[in-house]
């Protein structure tokens, strides 16, 4: 038998039908749904007189539009101030109710960002195919699953058929060996990867993250890395299953129990690339070389180490890139050669599907503990990824640590990651953000985003500018 | 998607070339979370005298009495007769959604914009292409006779007038097959429902835990 990659195995195990034109029908085990990309899909289903193929394979939750202040959250959907947001959240509730889909509603303690609640609840498991109408679905690949985002018409297609029409992607291996230094996080690893391969580096590929750094990494760290596979151009990212994966899944709400568990674990042990499997593309980095990263521009590949300075477009030989850099600097209000540690910050956002899990909360809290937010920071918000993360953090007293330091502790949701609710940057404001996209206007019209790790964001809230967090640990 | 084999219905005119999708459904209605309900705003700016807003009821809005679709004789029309390059401009799928929701089943014109043409098939709306001279003739006959109906026959690829005159039209076989059987992408996949069921059965035997219900 020919050697297979993890991706080959997941693909082959879910192939329903290979069509002559190169496309294939892939069976979908888990479908996660949120309020923004699902309404027209349900509408389409209804108009065609169809029903979901397997209702009990679907889990829904509202996340993009939900407010994060306790006051606005108090009265649930009816309390949402923005009428358009309210309608979208209400529509999700109505659709789930009428089709019998399980939904963690706005004030359910299990509600949260789709990509956080999937693994957290055990709804997403190793070996599964997972889809959601959202590009960061790749997060679930950390479990050793084939997970990726889909569009609204595909949401309808999966609802109706339990299948996706797909074409097989290329195999790419991103190998990071060595050991990460203190204060260097999974976020820094993935930012360093994107800085190296570029935002188109993974186009047409499914990326497997391999090497010592990922073997040593916690599940939540692996999620942070897989989350940003899409920023590296790949629709799917994944990490092979090991004991860390299996320990993480054990005893989660929807995880298999009893004899099912034994069967499942046996099967999951196979979810690794064969030793002699061949990848179409291989990229290697040395983990020991990576230091905390900060983005300076308006694309996730525009990243430097915190010790560096804003790069000079004049030094870039590629004309298209040079123009892009110049435009980015203009938008960001930065000049070439400026030290990253000299950038004055206005706001701090700790949250998003990239960095809002309990380990992120703990890491950020450890940095701000006993310190005070800089006066120059107008607002620093900490938004847990789910109600359960929030509960756990509060049980550990982390909320207190944040509020004592002058940071705000919020209700779970996407929040300032994309500014679809009231959490936004003002024009020209610089924000240290643990989210995944620094596009123009992403966090608010004219807002300037710098992507960093939770530790770096926390330190920035205290110092009012970027500091090399390693000096604080 | 509903199947289309034959359709006979009253013909209404949009007697101009280059009708763009903005005209078919103006931008303010794209905020909707729905794919249906656009019919009342189909041709909104031509149809009403005021500016329409999303979520606004159209009852009581002042109608443009000079707009043919408002003429009593064209009420209940389901075949739209129009001219070249119909559906140009923005790629919004809301355009075929609006026409279909209004009640149109078929359109007849000498040519269409590409994206609109594609989008129509996905939504069970048949865009028929006839020679410009024939379109002229149909316009004349329609204006001359109140209650003028055309039969659009997809099986035999013909448009038949009340007098029994038949005009053949062309359509690629794949599209014809999908529309005749009411197949959209989903419909096509569902043709493989047996394969999906068989796969599911094997999967269930091999990995029963994958079928634990998401509940509660
Ligand atoms: S947190 Fe941000 S990136 Fe993640 S799902 Fe929400 S909006 Fe998308």
Closest-CA residue to A374 (of A341, A413, A406, A422): A406
Asked if A89 has any chain B CB less than 8 Å from its own CB, the reply is no
Q: What is the DSSP letter of B43?
A: T
Chain A residues lying within 8 Å of B179, measured CB to CB: none
Position B51 scores a pLDDT of: 86
Closest-CA residue to A344 (of A463, A255, A435): A463
Contacting A residues, span 356-395, partner chain B, CB-CB under 8 Å: none
pLDDT band at A167 (very low <50, low <70, confident <90, very high): confident
**Whether residue B114 sits in one domain with residue B50:** yes
Q: Is A62 in contact with A38 (CB distance < 8 Å)?
A: no
Gap between the Cα atoms of B189 and A161, Å rounded? 7
pLDDT band at B54 (very low <50, low <70, confident <90, very high): confident
Gap between the Cα atoms of A184 and A181, Å rounded? 5
**Whether residue B100 sits in one domain with residue B205:** no
- Choose the weakest-confidence range: A320-324, A368-372, B41-45, B154-158: A320-324
Residue A43 pLDDT greater than 80, yes or no: yes
Gap between the Cα atoms of A459 and A433, Å rounded? 12
**Whether residue B193 sits in one domain with residue B126:** no
* Residues forming beta bridges with residue B126, ordered by sequence position: B106
A275: how many CB neighbours lie within 10 A of its CB? 6
Asked if A265 has any chain B CB less than 8 Å from its own CB, the reply is no
- HSE-up of residue A251 (Cα within 13 Å, Cβ side): 2
B190, A84: Cβ pair inside 8 Å? no
Is B83 among the domain residues?
Answer: yes
pLDDT band at B80 (very low <50, low <70, confident <90, very high): very high
Q: Which two tokens stand for residue A189?
A: 């690893």
Gap between the Cα atoms of A20 and A22, Å rounded? 6
Is B42 among the domain residues?
Answer: yes
Q: What number of C-beta contacts closer than 8 Å exist between A and B?
A: 86
**Whether residue B205 sits in one domain with residue B106:** no
Is B143 among the domain residues?
Answer: yes
Chain segment A283-304, per-residue pLDDT in tens:
999 999 999 999 999 999 999 9
- In sequence order, the 6+-apart residues with CB closer than 8 A to the CB of B165 are none
Gap between the Cα atoms of A385 and B65, Å rounded? 56
Which among A417, A439, A442 is the best mutation to test ligand 1's pocket, defined by most ligand atoms within 8 Å of the CB? A417
Q: Is B214 in contact with A57 (CB distance < 8 Å)?
A: yes
Is B43 among the domain residues?
Answer: yes
Residue A456 pLDDT greater than 80, yes or no: yes
Name the burial class of residue A261, with classes exposed (0-12), middle (13-18) and buried (19+) by CB atoms within 10 angstroms of its CB. Answer: middle
List the single residue in B with minimal CA-CA distance to A27.
Answer: B196
Residue B178 pLDDT greater than 90, yes or no: no
pLDDT band at B17 (very low <50, low <70, confident <90, very high): confident
Q: Is A24 in contact with A15 (CB distance < 8 Å)?
A: yes
B157: how many CB neighbours lie within 10 A of its CB? 15
CA dihedral A341, A344, A346, A350 (to 10 degrees): -10
pLDDT band at B177 (very low <50, low <70, confident <90, very high): confident
Residue B42 pLDDT greater than 90, yes or no: yes
b/e for A90-123, b at 16 or more Cβ within 10 A? bbbbebbeebebbbbbbebebbbbbbbbbbbbbb
**Whether residue B192 sits in one domain with residue B159:** no
**Whether residue B189 sits in one domain with residue B101:** no
Average pLDDT estimate for A405-429: 92
**Whether residue B110 sits in one domain with residue B13:** yes
Question: pLDDT averaged over chain A?
Answer: 95
* Residues forming beta bridges with residue B150, ordered by sequence position: B9
Position B55 scores a pLDDT of: 77
Closest-CA residue to A88 (of A136, A140, A152): A152
- In sequence order, the 6+-apart residues with CB closer than 8 A to the CB of A18 are A24
**Whether residue B201 sits in one domain with residue B175:** no
Is B216 among the domain residues?
Answer: no
Gap between the Cα atoms of A348 and A345, Å rounded? 8
Is B29 among the domain residues?
Answer: yes
Which one of B209, B211, B215 makes the best mutation probe of the A interface by having the most chain A beta carbons within 10 Å?
A: B209
Q: Is A138 in contact with A147 (CB distance < 8 Å)?
A: yes
Opening angle at CA A251, ends B207 and A400, nearest 5: 140
Gap between the Cα atoms of A296 and A169, Å rounded? 31
Which among A60, A62, A63, A117 is the best mutation to test ligand 1's pocket, defined by most ligand atoms within 8 Å of the CB? A63
Which one of A12, A13, A14, A17 makes the best mutation probe of the B interface by having the most chain B beta carbons within 10 Å?
A: A17
Three state DSSP letters for chain A: CCCCCHHHHHHHHHEEEECCCCCEEEECCEEEECCCCCHHHHHHHHHCCCCCCCHHHEEECCCCCCCCCHHHHCCHHHHCCCHHHHHHHHHHHHHHHHHCCEECCCCCCCCECHHHHHHHHCCCCCCCEEEECCHHHHHHHHHCCEEEECCHHHHHHHHHHCEEEECCCEEEEEEEECCCCCCCCHHHHHHHHHHHHCCCCCCCEEEEEECHHHHHCCHHHHHHHHHCCHHHCCCEEECCCCHHHHHHHCCCCCCCCHHHHHHHHHHHCCCCCCCCCCCCEEEEEEHHHCCCEEECCCCCCCEEECCCECCCHHHCCCHHHHHHHHHHHHHHCCCCCCEHHHCECCEEEECCCCCCCHHHHHHHHHHHCCCCCCCCCCEEEECCCEHHHHHHHHHCCHHHHHHHCCCEECCCCCHHHCCCCCCCCCCCCEEEECCCCCCCCCCCCCCEEEECCHHHHHHHHHHCECCCHHHHC
Q: Which two tokens stand for residue A272?
A: 């690794």
β-bridge pairing A408-409 and B79-82: unpaired
Of A53, A160, A254, the CB nearest to B214: A254
Position B2 scores a pLDDT of: 76
A56, B213: Cβ pair inside 8 Å? yes
**Whether residue B200 sits in one domain with residue B117:** no
Interface ipTM:
0.92
Opening angle at CA B123, ends A152 and A167, nearest 5: 45
**Whether residue B199 sits in one domain with residue B120:** no
C-alpha pair distances (Å), A112 with each of A196, A357, A401: 32, 11, 22
**Whether residue B80 sits in one domain with residue B114:** yes
Task: Using a pLDDT cut of 70, give the percent of chain B over it.
Answer: 99
- Of A322 and A421, the structure prediction assigns the larger pLDDT to A322
Closest-CA residue to A392 (of A220, A166, A200): A220
Q: What is the DSSP letter of B61?
A: P
Gap between the Cα atoms of A31 and A108, Å rounded? 19
Distance of CA A208 to the CA centre of its chain: 16
Regarding pTM above 0.90, the answer is no
CATH code (residue B81): 3.20.19.10
Q: Which residue has the tokens 């110092």?
A: A463
- Choose the weakest-confidence range: A78-82, A272-276, A285-289: A78-82
3-state secondary structure at position B94: helix
pLDDT band at B92 (very low <50, low <70, confident <90, very high): confident
pLDDT band at B169 (very low <50, low <70, confident <90, very high): very high
B77: how many CB neighbours lie within 10 A of its CB? 22
Average pLDDT estimate for A397-408: 98
β-bridge pairing A303-305 and A293-295: antiparallel
Chain segment A191-200, per-residue pLDDT in tens:
999 999 999 8
Position A321 scores a pLDDT of: 87
Q: How many domains does chain B have?
A: 2
Is B1 among the domain residues?
Answer: no
Is B60 among the domain residues?
Answer: yes
Q: Which residue has the tokens 């797909």?
A: A166
**Whether residue B194 sits in one domain with residue B125:** no
Task: Using a pLDDT cut of 70, give the percent of chain A over it.
Answer: 100
Q: What does residue A149 show for φ and ψ, rounded to 5 degrees?
A: -80, 155
Domain with B203 in it: 185-211
Position B16 scores a pLDDT of: 86
Gap between the Cα atoms of A207 and A234, Å rounded? 7
C-alpha pair distances (Å), A105 with each of A40, A153, A357, B212: 20, 24, 19, 21
B189, A43: Cβ pair inside 8 Å? no
- In sequence order, the 6+-apart residues with CB closer than 8 A to the CB of A285 are A174, A175, A176, A189, A192, A193, A196
Chain segment B59-78, per-residue pLDDT in tens:
999 999 999 999 999 999 99
Q: By a Cβ cutoff of 8 Å, what residues of chain B touch chain A?
A: 1, 31, 33-36, 184-186, 189-190, 192-193, 195-196, 199-200, 203, 206-216
A27, B36: Cβ pair inside 8 Å? no
Chain segment A90-149, per-residue pLDDT in tens:
999 999 999 999 999 999 999 999 999 999 999 999 999 999 999 899 999 999 999 999
For residue A49, the distance in angstroms to the closest alpha carbon of chain B comes to 8
């Amino acid at each position: 038998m020919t050697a297979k990659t993890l991706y080959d195995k997941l693909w082959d195990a879910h192939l329903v039908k290979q069509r002559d034109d190169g496309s294939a029908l892939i069976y979908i085990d888990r479908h996660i749904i949120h309020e923004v990309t699902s309404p027209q899909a349900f509408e389409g289903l209804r108009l065609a007189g169809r029903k979901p193929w397997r209702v009990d394979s679907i889990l829904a939750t509202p996340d993009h539009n939900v407010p994060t202040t306790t006051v606005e959250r108090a009265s649930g959907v009816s309390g949402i101030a923005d009428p358009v947001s309210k309608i979208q959240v209400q529509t999700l509730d109505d659709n789930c109710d009428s089709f019998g889909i399980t939904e963690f509603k706005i004030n359910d303690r299990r509600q949260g960002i789709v990509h956080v609640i999937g693994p957290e609840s055990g709804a997403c498991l190793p070996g599964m195919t997972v889809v959601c109408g959202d590009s960061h679905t790749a997060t679930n690949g950390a479990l050793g699953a084939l997970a990726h985002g889909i569009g609204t018409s595909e949401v309808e297609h999966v609802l109706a058929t339990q299948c996706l029409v797909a074409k097989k992607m290329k195999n790419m291996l991103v190998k990071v060996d060595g050991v990460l230094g203190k204060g260097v996080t999974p976020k820094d690893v993935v930012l360093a990867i994107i800085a190296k391969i570029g935002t188109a580096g993974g186009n047409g590929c499914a990326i497997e993250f391999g090497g010592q750094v990922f073997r040593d990494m916690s599940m939540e760290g692996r999620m942070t890395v897989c989350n940003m596979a899409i920023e590296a151009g790949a629709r799917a990212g994944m990490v092979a299953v090991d004991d860390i994966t299996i320990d993480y899944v054990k005893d989660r709400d929807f995880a298999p129990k009893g004899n099912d568990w034994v069967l499942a674990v046996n099967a999951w042990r196979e979810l690794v690339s064969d030793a002699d499997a061949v990848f179409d593309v291989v990229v290697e980095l040395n983990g020991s070389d990576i230091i905390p990263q900060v983005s300076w521009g308006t694309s996730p590949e525009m990243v430097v180490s915190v010790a560096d300075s804003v790069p000079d477009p004049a030094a870039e030989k590629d004309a298209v890139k040079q123009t892009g850099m110049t435009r980015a600097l203009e938008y960001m209000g930065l000049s070439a050669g400026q030290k990253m540690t000299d950038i004055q910050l206005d706001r701090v956002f700790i949250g998003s599907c990239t960095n809002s899990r309990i380990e992120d909360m703990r890491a950020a809290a450890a940095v701000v503990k006993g310190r005070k937010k800089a006066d120059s920071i107008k607002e620093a918000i900490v938004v847990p990824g789910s109600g359960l993360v929030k509960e756990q953090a509060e049980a550990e007293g982390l909320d207190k640590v944040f509020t004592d330091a002058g940071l705000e502790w919020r209700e779970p949701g996407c929040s300032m990651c994309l500014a679809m609710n009231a959490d936004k940057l003002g024009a020209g404001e610089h924000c240290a953000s643990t989210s995944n996209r620094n596009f123009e206007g992403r966090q608010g019209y004219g807002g300037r985003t710098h992507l960093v790790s939770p530790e770096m964001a926390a330190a920035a809230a205290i110092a009012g500018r970027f500091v090399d967090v390693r000096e604080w640990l | 998607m509903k199947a289309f084999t034959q359709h006979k219905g009253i013909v209404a005119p949009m007697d101009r070339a280059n009708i763009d999708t903005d005209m078919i459904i103006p931008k303010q209605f794209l905020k909707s979370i729905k794919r249906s309900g656009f019919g009342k705003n189909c041709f909104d700016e031509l149809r009403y005298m005021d500016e329409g807003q999303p979520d606004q009821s159209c009852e009581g809005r002042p109608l443009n009495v000079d707009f043919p679709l408002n003429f009593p004789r064209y009420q209940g029309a389901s075949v739209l007769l129009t001219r070249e390059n119909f559906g140009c401009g923005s790629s919004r799928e809301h355009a075929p959604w609006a026409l279909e929701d209004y009640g149109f089943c078929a359109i007849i014109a000498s040519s269409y914009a590409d994206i609109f043409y594609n989008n129509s098939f996905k939504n069970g709306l048949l865009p028929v292409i006839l020679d410009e001279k024939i379109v002229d003739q149909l316009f004349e006959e329609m204006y001359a006779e109140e209650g003028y109906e055309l039969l659009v026959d997809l099986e035999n690829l013909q448009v038949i007038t009340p007098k029994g005159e038949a005009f053949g039209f062309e359509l690629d076989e794949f599209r014809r097959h999908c529309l005749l059987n009411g197949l959209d992408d989903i419909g096509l996949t569902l043709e493989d429902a047996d394969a999906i069921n068989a796969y599911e059965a094997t999967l269930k035997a091999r990995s029963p835990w994958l079928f634990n219900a998401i509940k509660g």
